Chain A
Amino acid sequence: MSLEIKTTAIQQRRQTFANVARRLGADRPASRYEESMYDLQPEVNFHYRPTWAPEYELFDKSRTAITMEDWYAPRDPRQLYYGAYTIARSRMMEATEKNFAFVEKRQLLAAIAPAWAEIVRLYLLPLRHYEWGANMNNSQITAIGYGAAITQATQFITMDRLGIAQIISRVGLVMDGNAGDSLAAAKRAWMDDPVWQGVRRMVEDSLVLTDWFELLVAQNLSMDGMLYPLVYGRFDAGGQAHGAQGLSMLTEFMVDWQDDNAKWVDAVIKRVAAENDANRQLLSGWYAAWATRAQEALRPLADHVLGCDGVTALAEIRQALDARARKIGLLV
């Protein structure tokens, strides 16, 4: 048996907006992602050149060497728009909050062996600055990138990186009983400790990149692609023998986030590489240069945390990252 509620049928004049219908090839119902993403960025008839970059229009395709017939081709496989994004992240954060409560209640970070706790302070807490650099880079892409398909996703990443920097900071506060001195020490390490200088130099060099697509590849594929598996994979695994299970619960957000973000990064780069051979060459060159850079920059940190296994760990991560890059069409 089924129930049938009678409703009045009202004739619709159209199913979706005309610009969306043109892209779908027909006037048919469109998703919320499609309606609120396509063609959102103005492309023509700008009134004034930006006083901060008068050689360009406000939004200008020539700000990257990458060329696309249609900048709305590299779409988000997750179909995130603002509402879907915040709801997804609030769910992840809810789980993280529970984990923090669990760990704090049981004082699980106090169970970490003291020598390893020192190592954690050195390898994890300064990453709040790495994340802040990643936040700046994605905000830069959002500002000067082309096409809402990409720039709305980088706006989400911008906020994600701030959120991750804040989760790392909270780990520091749990470790130092809310005194904040662990964060001050982490900043000193970021500024002066030799294990961090290669990474900081790499981040600062990325902050001044002028091609926004190179920046996208450098930050979100190469640098993150080396750093995340090292820190949240290898270092975390190393901690299991030293009582650091509680810490894994606090950094699980980053593991989940990287999995989610990589879906977008890979889809975008794959589509852009498939566009033409010049793109593929550029992307491959940028990927390799920044992955090599990251591999070298992370070496002192990997050595410090993993000892003689550090170099192998980095080589294995690089190998896996190269495989990922090949899978999305880069020449590696």
Chain B
Amino acid sequence: MTTLLKEPKAKKLGLKERYAHLTRGLGWETTYQPMSKVFPFADYEGIKIHDWDAWEDPFRLTMDAYWKYQAEKERKLYAVIDSFAQNNGQMNITDARYINAIKIFLTGVSPLEYMAHRGYAQVGRHFVGAGPRVACQMQAIDELRHAQTQIHTISHYNKFFDGLHDSRHMHDRVWYLSVPKSFFDDAASAGPFEFLTAISFSFEYVLTNLLFVPFMSGAAFNGDMATVTFGFSAQSDESRHMTLGLEIIKFMLEQDEGNVPIVQKWIDKWFWRGYRLLTIVAMMMDYMLPKRVMSWAEAWEMYFEEAGGALFKDLARYGIREPKYADVARKEKGRLSHEAWCTFYNYTHAAAFHTWVPKEEELAWLSEKYPDTFDKLYRPRFEYWQKQQEAGKRFYNNSLPQLCTVCQVPMLFTEPDDPTKICFRRAEHKGETYHFCSDGCCDIFKDEPEKYIQSWLPVHQIFQGNCGGATIPDVLAWYHLNNGVDNLDYQGSPDQQLWDAWMKDRGKAGG
């Protein structure tokens, strides 16, 4: 068949060239207002950029294609979410204990997606080059997508399970949620280059396989079709974000030699900050998934020690080395999840999710995955707690824990070379003493003490009377945490009762 009309002869444009025409030329050197006023945050961090045009666009995505691809993904995702709800997909998960991982995700992670959205909007406005600015703007809207689709995905679970009902309110108040909140506030309050090093590089590129992926794999393994569909749908966004992370680091390093020590300092800081945030993921992977994907130690070896090792070898040509204290993380990998779960087991009366003593086969799995540490250091605790619980004496620690001033995790970590001794570090600043969980956090404080003395430390705030009152029930009410429902052991919780009733009903014949 021939067409009736002859196609006009136009020069064929390659993707790169087309993208350059459609995007790169949009910016201009302002003259009616000085560039320094239009872009006031371009150099206060000390990063020198000589040629913004040297930026290599990692994904040459124009808005026409963006709308098209993203709309296709959204149509599919919402179709699955609707069908999940219609078919009561919540009844097909492995066990209601699994929902506690989702509670941590919605209260701890989704609010960070939102913060990323706003942070990238800031950088998307204030970077001088059009190329990186467009990349940041696309990530800004992607992150809004993630926050919103996560809420929509988890909305259905909220209709049946407890602890998901007021995630935004909790995120800004509940003690353990100040760990993720302070992490992102730290990044968002930094300059544009540090923000990108923190979030695009350390968080998205180096650590995303240890944060986002374990939750999504956990969903896949535990019959959570809704969340895993979200995960698949976000995958192509995430790979774009990871690419941006690597590009921005290379760009800074290539632009000026003087940038290298600044970038290295940020990599050290944000590696440690991110790693401490992952404590809760480690615990989720080893304790909260009824059907486990892999152990924390295995994930750390695969995604940080191997993949990260190769990355830092690659960056060595720029003069970048492995993050400081990566060796400490290596030493902690056999203890991290256990120390965290034991702490939450103690304080679960003040948490918006349930904890429990692992079942016998779960203890066996932990022994197998952690042959050097579990039987020796942690199994005896669980056996003791189990006995106490059977005797009707479930233990709750009614004191308030001391928090690290930087990462805000309770002081639960042990000395790098002694797993039986809690690690304490301290520093003086203007006559006050500050406490830290590690050398990593202590270093971060010493580098920017004026920043970290501002920390909104939940335990301090409770003692200062800023959290609803002096008793635990007062504070829980202030958190909007339903005492006796959202908190305490899984055994006997309304979640458990509901789940058991569903499962019993499923066994019955006839209507």
State the A residues within 8 Å of B (CB).
6, 8, 10, 12-19, 32, 35-37, 39-52, 58-59, 81-83, 86-87, 89-91, 93-94, 96-97, 104-107, 110, 128-129, 131-132, 135-136, 139-140, 142-144, 148, 151-152, 155-156, 158-159, 162-163, 165-167, 169-170, 172-174, 177-180, 183-184, 187, 190-191, 200-201, 204-205, 207-208
User: Which of chain B's residues have a CB closer than 8 A to the CB of A39?
Assistant: 168-169
1/0 per residue, CB under 8 A from A, across B1-40: the answer is 0010101111111000110011101111011110001101
Per DSSP, chain B at the interface is helix
B114 located at the interface, meaning its Cβ lies under 8 Å from any Cβ of chain A in the complex: yes
New A-B contacts (15) at CB < 8 Å, excluding given A42-B168, A47-B178, A178-B13: A6-B511, A17-B155, A36-B148, A42-B111, A86-B74, A89-B67, A96-B64, A104-B7, A135-B137, A142-B121, A143-B118, A151-B121, A162-B63, A207-B33, A207-B38
Contact of B160 among A12, A51, A90, A128 (CB under 8 A): A12
Are the C-beta atoms of B169 and A83 separated by less than 8 Å?
no
Give the nearest-CB partner of B167 in chain A.
A17
In the assembled complex, the CB of A42 is this many whole angstroms from the nearest CB of chain B, namely 5
What are 21 A-B pairs with beta-carbon distances under 8 A? A10-B88, A13-B162, A16-B155, A17-B151, A17-B165, A46-B456, A47-B455, A81-B148, A82-B145, A104-B10, A128-B25, A129-B28, A131-B26, A143-B126, A144-B122, A148-B114, A158-B121, A166-B62, A173-B13, A178-B10, A204-B31
| Complex alpha-carbon distance, A129 and B12, angstroms | 25
By the criterion CB–CB under 8 Å, are A13 and B160 in contact? yes
Return the contact of B23 from the options A36, A43, A152, A166 (Cβ within 8 A).
A166
A71, chain B: closest CB distance, angstroms: 14
Contact B111 A166 (CB under 8 A): no
- B309 contacts A by Cβ under 8 Å: no
Which of B181-189, B290-298, B368-376 is found at the contact surface with chain A?
B181-189
With beta carbons under 8 angstroms apart, the residue of A12, A136, A158, A200 that contacts B159 is A12
Cβ-defined partner of A183 (8 Å) among B8, B21, B91:
B21
Partner of B32, one of A32, A155, A200: A200
List chain B residues, Cβ under 8 A from A190.
28
Contacts of B137 in A (CB 8 A): 135, 139, 158-159, 162
CA distance A283 to B279 in the complex (A): 48
Which A residues are CB-close (under 8 A) to B263? Answer: none
Interface centre among B26, B37, B78, B134 (most CB of A within 10 A): B26
* Structural contact, B33 and A15, CB atoms closer than 8 A: no
B454 touches A (CB below 8 Å): yes
- Name B190's closest neighbour in chain A (CB-CB): A51
Query: Which of B12, B22, B173 has the most chain A CB within a 10 Å cutoff?
Result: B22
**A18/B169 in contact, CB under 8 A:** yes
Q: How far is the CA of A91 from the CA of B67 in the complex (A)?
A: 9
Does B50 sit within 8 A of A, measured CB to CB? no
With beta carbons under 8 angstroms apart, the residue of B25, B182, B189, B498 that contacts A51 is: B189
- Across the interface, name the chain A residue whose C-beta is closest to B113: A40
10 closest cross-chain pairs (CB), A and B: A163-B63, A90-B71, A143-B122, A36-B148, A142-B121, A139-B125, A83-B74, A132-B26, A47-B185, A178-B11
- Cα distance A195–B147 in the bound complex, in angstroms: 44
Are B22 and A17 in contact, CB atoms less than 8 angstroms apart? no
A45 and B140 contacting across the interface, CB-CB below 8 Å: no
Task: Identify the B interface with A (CB < 8 A).
Answer: 3, 5, 7-13, 17-18, 21-23, 25-28, 30-33, 37-38, 40-41, 44, 62-64, 66-68, 70-72, 74-75, 77-78, 88, 91, 111, 114-115, 117-118, 121-122, 124-126, 130, 134, 137-138, 140-141, 144-145, 147-149, 151-152, 155, 158-162, 164-169, 171-173, 178, 181-182, 185-186, 188-191, 451-452, 454-456, 461, 480, 498, 502, 511
Q: Which residues of A contact B511 (CB under 8 A)?
A: 6, 8
Chain A residues with CB under 8 Å of B185's CB are 46-48, 58
Minimum CB distance partner of A177 in chain B: B10
B225 to chain A, nearest CB (A): 16
CA distance A188 to B83 in the complex (A): 54
Give the Cβ gap from A141 to chain B, nearest Cβ, in Å.
Answer: 9
The reply to whether A83 and B77 form a contact with Cβ atoms under 8 Å apart is: yes
A41 in contact with B140 (CB, 8 Å): no
How many residue pairs at the A-B interface have CB separations less than 8 Å? Answer: 257
A42-B181, A47-B455, A132-B26 known; A18 and B165 CB under 8 Å?
yes
Output the least CB separation between A152 and chain B (Å).
Answer: 6
Chain B nearest CB from A16 CB (Å) reads 7
Across the interface, which residues of B come within 8 angstroms of A52, CB to CB?
40-41, 44, 189, 191
Q: Are A89 and B71 in contact (CB under 8 A)?
A: yes
Which residues of chain B have C-beta atoms less than 8 A from A96's C-beta? 64
Q: Would A51 and B191 count as touching, CB distance under 8 A?
A: yes
The answer to whether A86 and B121 touch (CB under 8 A), given A42-B172, A165-B26, is no
Q: State how many angstroms separate the Cβ of A171 from the closest Cβ of chain B.
A: 11
Per the bound structure, the CA–CA distance linking A245 and B111 in Å amounts to 48
A158 touching B124 in the complex, CB below 8 Å, given contacts A82-B74, A106-B5, A163-B63: yes
* Cross-interface CB contact of B168 among A40, A87, A135, cutoff 8 Å: A40
Contacts of A91 in B (CB 8 A): 71
CA distance A144 to B124 in the complex (A): 12
B91: chain A residues at CB < 8 Å are: 10
Evaluate contact between A169 and B22: CB separation under 8 angstroms. Answer: yes
Q: Cβ of B165 and Cβ of A93 under 8 Å apart?
A: no
B147:A36 contact, CB within 8 angstroms: yes
A139 with B166: in contact, given A14-B158, A86-B70, A104-B8 (CB under 8 Å)? Answer: no
A205 touching B33 in the complex, CB below 8 Å, given contacts A14-B165, A183-B21: yes
B114 touches A204 (CB 8 A): no
Contact of A132 among B9, B27, B67, B160 (CB under 8 A): B27
Chain A residues within 8 Å of B74, by CB? 82-83, 86-87
Given contacts A41-B118, A177-B11, contact A90 B148 (CB under 8 A): no
Residues of A within 8 A of B456 (CB): 45-47
- B455 — nearest CB in chain A belongs to which residue? A47
What residues on B are CB-neighbors of A35 within 8 Å? 151-152, 155
Q: A10-B160, A82-B74, A204-B30 are in contact. Are A42 and B148 (CB under 8 A)?
A: no
Which of B26, B88, B114, B181 contacts A41 (CB under 8 A)?
Answer: B114
CB distance from B350 to the nearest CB of A (A): 17
**Alpha-carbon distance between A178 and B9 when the two chains are bound, in angstroms:** 10
Residue among B12, B64, B451 making CB contact with A163, cutoff 8 Å: B64
- A191→B121 contact, CB < 8 A: no
Given the contacts A46-B456, A52-B44, A87 and B144 also touching, CB distance less than 8 Å: no
Contacts of A36 in B (CB 8 A): 147-148, 151-152
Q: Which of A12, A107, A151, A162 has the most CB of B within 10 A?
A: A162
B110 to chain A, nearest CB (A): 9
B188 touching A128, Cβ below 8 Å: no
Contact check, A183 vs B118: say whether CB atoms are below 8 A apart: no
Contacts of A89 in B (CB 8 A): 67, 71
Query: Are the CB atoms of B37 and A208 closer together than 8 Å?
Result: yes
Q: With contacts A12-B160, A82-B141, A139-B124 known, is A187 near B32, CB below 8 A?
A: no
For A94, list chain B residues within 8 Å (CB): 68
Given A93-B67, A162-B137, A140:B26 Cβ within 8 A? no
| Residues of B close to A18: CB separation below 8 A | 165-166, 169, 480
**Which of the residues A87, A142, A177, A180 comes within 8 Å of B118, measured between beta carbons?**
A142
Contact A155 B191 (CB under 8 A): no
Nearest residue, chain B, Cβ from A90: B71
Q: How far is the CA of A136 from the CA of B451 in the complex (A)?
A: 29
Contact residues in B for A204 (Cβ distance below 8 Å): 30-33, 38
Query: What CA separation (Å) do A325 and B25 show in the bound complex?
Result: 35
State how many angstroms separate the Cβ of B182 from the closest Cβ of chain A: 4
